[in-house]
Structure 1
Amino acid sequence: MDSADPNSPLKILLAYDGSEHSLAALDLLIELPLPAGSVVSLIGVINPRRPGDEERLGQGMEQASRRLQERGATASASLRRGDPAEQILAAAEAENPGLIVVGAQGLRATLGILLGGVAQQVAEYAGQPTLVVRAPWRPVQRLLLVIDGSPHSQRALEFLAHFPLPQGCQVVAVHVLPPMAPPEWVARAWPLGPEIIPPLPSYLPSESSEWQKAEEAEAQALLDGAVAALNATGLAAKSALLHGDAASEVIAYARAQQAGLIVCGSRGLSPVRRWLLGSVSRKLIHYADCSVLIVRSPGG
């Protein structure tokens, strides 16, 4: 998708295995007003130890292709053999789609998205924006855009501004301020111990209050800029300033607002960084009740 032209065709890679979540992914794509000329490539992966799945999966992919074609998209299907995450990532590298769509949980999963599961691996290692769809599918009438002031969230905003959303969809730009912690708490929690870190300044209540007000004003200005940018593209947008742990607050707010989608920027992980498990985007994919779109920064 050309970020400068919202009407340019989308090239989409849809991972399909016939599970409830991949069917939800298909339903979500069919709901979106895809630009004319958009192309959807379906990929199914057969476990070499289960060759009997090939006929069932092939038939399901043919039906999915027909549904997409009925909505005006060009659709094709291909079957591969091997590890699902590896094959999806290989197809993404070869085809370079503008968007990867994958169900949050496959037929063989029993505990949702497990650490290192297919959806998690694709979202972390793919170089393209990745939409992880969770069943049950529901129309995307409201979505949350996580804003933190980083280049990654700016990239997510730019991508969303030209993404084909259903008519009437409302966007809520969300920023989360961490709770203020007294210096002695920080020292106590510091992994090397308080004797290693330099002396921390102590704040009088009035100073602490002024600092908090300044931080909130800066965060609100950030949100106001995001809302203005979204409104300028014709999207209905508003903002919400939250306090607490970023992932926990976003997930709770999404649940309270009955959001159908959370959009978040991410720098991604290379194989040498795979020990970095605490990112907000990973927690959102892992624990959110709704679908999550992770937008990768260029080169990230």
Structure 2
Amino acid sequence: MRAVYATDLSEAIEAAIGTRTCLECLERYGIDAFDLVTVTSPNVTAGMPGSDVSRRTSAALDRQRELLEREGFEVRTHVVRGTPHRRINGLADRVDADLVIVGSRGQSPLEQRLIGGTARNVARTSVRPLLVQRIVERDDDHEVADEHLFERILYATDFSENAERAFEQFDRLRTATKEALLVHVAPPARRAGSETVSDAEDRLAALADDLESRGIGTRTQVRKGVATDEILAAETEFQPTTILLGARGRSPMRRLLLGSVSEDVTARATSNVLIVPPTRVR
């Protein structure tokens, strides 16, 4: 399986690429090859062969390629010019990637923990599973927020077709995931014990039985309230390494936009987020 890994050649991304535990998790997911891509300014001079910028870009990209090759991955590198999210998603389509990985450093309270512009735009337009990997700054150094990427999964579902497609990711995660929390958020008006809530509990229980049969310890929760707020509250309680979501949920919008819940969770969560788009977009 092949992943497109977007890099801005920064120390932050290099810290993620150089974290062996993260790479082992991706290997257990099934990734054995990377297309490492950096998108440079459309400025003609910056991209001209032989320029200082070109040499520095190539040297930094080669250094990151060597980090991945050292761990046994097949790696191809790409230096492209243009709008980052378009070029990243375009490459993912061209190489038929199974996963796109984008680093996010938007953890500052002053930034309200919003994901960076490139990560947000890739998330909004990707037609392939996307891993938004959190990178934090500690003691003037960068490190991944959760190096065991898929060890603890919080899966949020509205039981839509897109959520069901996201659940299929457990086919790839089964050897990497030890624990899972399955969450459904019911509107505040629905009382505990109502037929709708009971139905949600039964459906979550069926999903839990499926995961338990694969050796994944699983719990379920039906929460009441605003979906984004309750998913993030569940994140605080469960402390997952990754939140798994289907993009767009029940939204009737036909444009290539994340549904509001998926976008808000991706922007505000402190965990990694794995977003799975609907099949029809591809």
For 2:194, what is the secondary structure of its paired residue?
Answer: helix
The answer to whether the aligner puts 1:257 opposite 2:238 as a matched pair is yes
1:20–1:250 Cα change, 3 Å: farther
For 2:263, what is the secondary structure of its paired residue?
Answer: helix
The answer to whether the aligner puts 1:99 opposite 2:109 as a matched pair is no
The answer to whether the aligner puts 1:73 opposite 2:73 as a matched pair is yes
Whether the aligned pair in 2 keeps the contact of 1:146 and 1:263 (CA below 8 Å) is yes
Counterpart of 1:80, as a letter, is: V
In the other structure, the counterpart of 1:122 is 122
1:278–1:152 Cα change, 3 Å: closer
Q: How much has 1:133 moved relative to structure 2?
A: 1.0
Whether the aligned pair in 2 keeps the contact of 1:25 and 1:102 (CA below 8 Å) is no
For 1:124, what is the secondary structure of its paired residue?
Answer: helix
Distance 1:246 1:24 in 2: 33
For 1:273, what is the secondary structure of its paired residue?
Answer: coil
Distance 2:22 2:275 in 1: 16
The superposition leaves residues 139-158 of structure 1 with CA deviations (integer Å, 9 ceiling, x where unpaired) of: 33322011211111111111
Distance 2:258 2:166 in 1: 21
Distance 1:43 1:280 in 2: 29
In the other structure, the counterpart of 1:12 is 3
In the other structure, the counterpart of 1:39 is 33
Whether the aligned pair in 2 keeps the contact of 1:42 and 1:78 (CA below 8 Å) is yes
1:169–1:114 Cα change, 3 Å: closer
The superposition leaves residues 85-104 of structure 1 with CA deviations (integer Å, 9 ceiling, x where unpaired) of: 12112112211201000112
In the other structure, the counterpart of 2:188 is 179
Cα RMSD for the two superposed structures: 3.0
Structure 1 residue runs of 5 or longer lacking an equivalent are 1-9, 181-207
- Between structure 1 and structure 2, the one with the greater Rg is 1
Whether the aligned pair in 2 keeps the contact of 1:161 and 1:230 (CA below 8 Å) is no
Whether the aligned pair in 1 keeps the contact of 2:186 and 2:223 (CA below 8 Å) is yes
The answer to whether the aligner puts 1:22 opposite 2:13 as a matched pair is yes
The superposition leaves residues 269-296 of structure 1 with CA deviations (integer Å, 9 ceiling, x where unpaired) of: 999626x675211111111111111011
Structure 2 residue runs of 5 or longer lacking an equivalent are 47-51, 137-143
Whether the aligned pair in 2 keeps the contact of 1:46 and 1:82 (CA below 8 Å) is yes
Identical aligned residues as a percent: 26
The answer to whether the aligner puts 1:231 opposite 2:231 as a matched pair is no
In the other structure, the counterpart of 1:161 is 171
Q: How much has 1:120 moved relative to structure 2?
A: 1.4
Counterpart of 1:139, as a letter, is: E
The superposition leaves residues 130-182 of structure 1 with CA deviations (integer Å, 9 ceiling, x where unpaired) of: 1111113223332201121111111111122323653x6311111111101xx
Whether the aligned pair in 1 keeps the contact of 2:114 and 2:267 (CA below 8 Å) is yes
In the other structure, the counterpart of 1:146 is 156
Distance 2:152 2:31 in 1: 26
Matches within 5 A, 1:83-94: 83-94=83-94
Whether the aligned pair in 1 keeps the contact of 2:248 and 2:262 (CA below 8 Å) is no
1:244–1:232 Cα change, 3 Å: same
1:236–1:139 Cα change, 3 Å: farther
Q: TM-score, normalised by structure 1?
A: 0.75
Distance 1:250 1:173 in 2: 10
1:179–1:270 Cα change, 3 Å: closer
The answer to whether the aligner puts 1:243 opposite 2:224 as a matched pair is yes
Whether the aligned pair in 2 keeps the contact of 1:105 and 1:119 (CA below 8 Å) is no
For 1:171, what is the secondary structure of its paired residue?
Answer: strand
* Aligned length in residues: 257
For 2:97, what is the secondary structure of its paired residue?
Answer: coil
Q: How much has 1:24 moved relative to structure 2?
A: 5.6
Q: Which has the higher strand share?
A: 2
Counterpart of 1:43, as a letter, is: V
The answer to whether the aligner puts 1:220 opposite 2:201 as a matched pair is yes
Matches within 5 A, 1:264-275: 264-267=245-248, 273=255
1:256–1:23 Cα change, 3 Å: farther
1:105–1:165 Cα change, 3 Å: farther
